[in-house]
Each structure stands twice: as structure tokens, then as C-alpha cells.
Amino acid sequence: MTEAATARRSRITPEREAELYGAVLDLLREVGYDALTMDAVAARTRSSKATLYRQWGGKPELVAKAIRHNKPGSIDDVDTGTLRGDLQALTSREDDCTMQQNAALMRGLFMAVHANPDLLQAFKELLIEPEMAEFHRVVQRAVDRGEVRADCPALDYVVHMLVGAFATRTLIDDRPPTQEFLSSYIDAVVLPALGAPVG
Amino acid sequence: MTEAATARRSRITPEREAELYGAVLDLLREVGYDALTMDAVAARTRSSKATLYRQWGGKPELVAKAIRHNKPGSIDDVDTGTLRGDLQALTSREDDCTMQQNAALMRGLFMAVHANPDLLQAFKELLIEPEMAEFHRVVQRAVDRGEVRADCPALDYVVHMLVGAFATRTLIDDRPPTQEFLSSYIDAVVLPALGAPVG
């Protein structure tokens, strides 16, 4: 951030900033990126549009900041001793409500991120990478333990399997993703594809 | 369709209607549903907005009709004798260009379909069900042949595996889905999850 930007940003309290970012994420879930207007953000947060533009420059910057701000902190390492135990523990850490909020946010951003590299980066940082780094760690430990063969071709597709099921659940079944769904999918698809024990 | 609607629609030639629907799908791929305006459709197709509204009633109706119009006809049954052969044949029938067009269309509609049941229906009819009915048929034949156990839990998730990988490829790897990707994913994930022979 430039010094000028820091000076501009310092006028707003951290609490107010968090509140504003929360409202932006709510709007993203409700209407999606393309339909989200600075007018709506101003109305929802009782700010003036002039303030929003002065502080953030524009919609892409504001949305990217809001996503980054909401990025979860470092998560405790999960280590149950089996791949199944680890994957089930990772997916049950997020309650169904959070999971559905993230699914709605993913839908709201799915088109826009392909046209906006900065948004794509923020989106990956929030919704894809933190969880996926953790999934890669538990899978690597399963390889180290000999539960999964190091040359198993499905190792390249752990993220596709999990994010794909999460992202398409509502579309295919008219039901949002839940812990129960992901748990069943891990046992039915992810572990067998990796050749790891299910039971 | 009501008689009045049929009378209104009959003023436009089938060629002109197809051209117009093609332009709507192009715009959907380019900007997505929310950012698609009737002004843009009018400009792209050299129609008047008044004509568009008179003929279709509004944006959701026009988009749903355009998607339905483009719905592929019945596809020849694939039957190679093995599940692997059938799945590979099904995915190689669509060339990479068509696949990328469908991925773009899916992105353009992903948010909107959740807010609009008629669009969701049209979207499923075009992009999900025709292919998936075919996938279910080849998988059922594999069960009948004894290649896949009838109680294999992954049978419930064939669509999630395939559509999920297709829909998330660009997001995860910054590359569009291709025949080569789907072919590799089928061997690495789908067949092992179903317990079917890969080689």
C-alpha cells in the first residue's frame, strides 16, 4: 500500500472496516459480483459512495479487500493417524452454515473471477488455498505412511474432487453442500480413488 | 405456449430466431447472465429492444429459450464393451472448443440459475442432463456386466465427479477443461472410485 493510501485508509476504524467488508460479502452472496453495485454497498453500510470510492478506488478493489479481510487465520493441524480420519476431521471443522455461505460466495464470484485477475487471486486465497493446503498436507502424510502410493494418479486431483463436489452439489441435487454430503463423498470417491482404506 | 404467443412468435423466421439465440449465448459466455442487458442483445442482433420484449417478454425468458434452442439432439449410444472405453468415447465426442464454450456458459449462468428456477431448468436440460443420462446408461451397463458392483457407493456421485472436475478445472489450474484433462481424470478418479478396471 502506498503512504497516501495508508493515510486515506487510516480514517476508518478497524471495527467499521470489518463491518463494511462483512456487508460486501453478504451482498456478494445475495446478488453476485456483477449485480453488486456501489450504491447497494453504500446503502447497506450507510456510507456515501464518495467515501467508498475515495477509500477503495472501485468495486473490484473493495470486493478483493473484503475477501482478503475475511480470510481465515491459520488452522490447527489435523493429525488423526489415518487419511480417512484426517479428511473427515477437516471437513467437519466447518459447520453447515459456514459451508453454505462459502458455497454462495463461490457462486457469486464464479463468473467475475475469470474476467478479473485480482479478484481471482483473492478468491483463491480465501476459498481454495487455505483448505487445499491442508488437504495436501494430510494426503502427503498418508503417502509418507504408505497409505497412498506415491505414484497414485488421483494425487493430482484431490482438489478437483473435493471442490468440484462442493461447487456442484446445489446444481445437481437442489440441496446445498453439508458435512454429511462431503463425508459420504470422501468415503465413496476420494478414498477409493486414492486407494486408501475406507473402513 | 398460448395461441397469442404462437402468433407473436410466428413473425420471426426460424433462421433469424436461431441467429438471435446464438448471439444471446455468445453474450452469456462473454459477460454472464447478470451483466447481460437487453440493450446489448438488441445491439448485437440489430433488433429493437421493443421487439425483443414483445417477442420474449424479458431477459429470463429470452435466455431460457436460447439455452433450450441450443439443446443438442439425441446422441448415438456408445457401447464399446468396457466402462473405460465408453467413458473415454463419451468425453472425446465433444471437441475442446465446444467444451470450453460450455464451460464459459456454465460460468456465465452459475450464479443466476440459483435465483431463477426457469433458468435453472433450462441450464440443466442443456448442460447437465443430456450428457449425464448417457453417463448413467454406460455406468448401468457396467453394473450389468459385473464391472462395477451394484452397491458401489460412488455410483451416487458419477455426475458430481465429472461435472465437478469440468467446472473447477479453470479455477484451480488456470487452464480450461480439455479432452485430455477429462480422459486423465476418468482414469485417475472415476474408474478407481467405481472399482472398475483402468488398463
Q: Are A145 and A153 in contact (CB under 8 A)?
A: no
Q: What is the C-alpha to C-alpha distance for residues A167 and B167, in angstroms, rounded to an integer?
A: 8
CA-based nearest residue to B191, from B150, B142, B145? B142
Q: Are B43 and B60 in contact (CB under 8 A)?
A: no
Confidence of residue B42 (pLDDT cuts 50, 70, 90): very high
Is residue B167 within 8 angstroms of chain A, CB to CB?
yes
Q: Render pLDDT for B69-87 as a digit per residue (tens, 0 to 9).
A: 876 554 567 889 999 999 9
Q: A83-194: which CATH topology?
A: Tetracycline Repressor; domain 2 (1.10.357)
Q: Are A141 and B146 in contact (CB under 8 A)?
A: no
Contact B35/A34, CB-based, under 8 Å? Answer: yes
Residue A8 has pLDDT above 60, yes or no: no
Residue A7 has what pLDDT? 47
CA distance A23 to chain B (A): 19
Length of chain B: 199
What ipTM did this prediction achieve? 0.80
Q: What average pLDDT does range B148-156 have in this prediction?
A: 96
Q: Render pLDDT for A126-167 as a digit per residue (tens, 0 to 9).
A: 777 777 788 889 999 999 999 999 999 999 999 899 988 988
**Most confident among B128-137, B140-149, B156-165 (mean pLDDT):** B140-149
Chain B residues with beta carbon closer than 8 angstroms to that of A32: 34, 111-112
Start-end ranges of CATH 1.10.357.10 in chain B? 3-69
Q: Are B130 and B71 in contact (CB under 8 A)?
A: yes
What CATH number matches the domain at A3-69, 3.30.70.270, 1.10.10.10, 3.30.450.20, 1.10.357.10?
1.10.357.10
Q: Which residues contact B101 (CB under 8 A, 6 or more apart)?
A: B29
Is residue A143 within 8 angstroms of chain B, CB to CB?
no
Contact A195/B195, CB-based, under 8 Å? Answer: no
